[in-house]
Amino acid sequence: MGAGLHLPPPIARELVARGRVPDVSEQPSPPPPYSPDDRGLEEIPSVEVISRAAVMLLSAGAERLGLADADPENSPHRDLDEARRLITALAGLVTASAEYLGLHAGPLRDGLQSLQKAFREASVVPDPPGQGPGEKYTGPVY
């Protein structure tokens, strides 16, 4: 960020989804008993496996940037080194599998770019263009 420029945290700018889903507990529920109707990995389409992995990386990256907290800069979960690794892994996955993702590719690219921008904002000394997390796969993100 430029000298003297201070942006409010992403959550204050409504860049982070917040809220609760009705009838969903925040406490993890025990796994249901095994059912013969459960799908094995061999039955799940590749686009679904890739998309699930990408969403997990997106979520974990956002957590490590502190974006789930009201004050990301003071989040106990904030760890920019971990966020860098997760964002780079996400960039590699999305870039390498874009041709297979169909209509899922656009939203995943948008989410990735949002994380890359949030990382740049969170960094005390931002990386030079093209050297931020995942930018070796996506190109520079400004």
Q: Taking 60 as the threshold, does the pLDDT of residue 3 lie above it?
A: no
pLDDT, one tens digit per residue, over 6-65 is: 666 666 666 655 556 566 566 666 766 655 457 788 889 999 999 999 999 999 999 999
Q: What integer pLDDT is reported at residue 142 of this predicted model?
A: 85
Q: Which carries the bigger pLDDT value, residue 89 or residue 5?
A: 89
Between CA 98 and CA 120 the distance in angstroms is 24
Per the CB < 8 A criterion, the answer to whether 114 and 15 are in contact is yes
pLDDT, one tens digit per residue, over 67-103 is: 999 999 899 999 999 999 999 999 999 999 999 999 9
Residue in 56, 74, 54 with CA at minimum distance from that of residue 66 = 74
Q: Taking 50 as the threshold, does the pLDDT of residue 1 lie above it?
A: no
Mean pLDDT over 107-121 rounds to 96
Per the CB < 8 A criterion, the answer to whether 112 and 61 are in contact is no
Burial of 17 (0-12, 13-18, 19+ CB in 10 A): exposed
Q: Where are the domains of the chain?
A: 44-137
Answering whether pTM is above 0.85, one says no
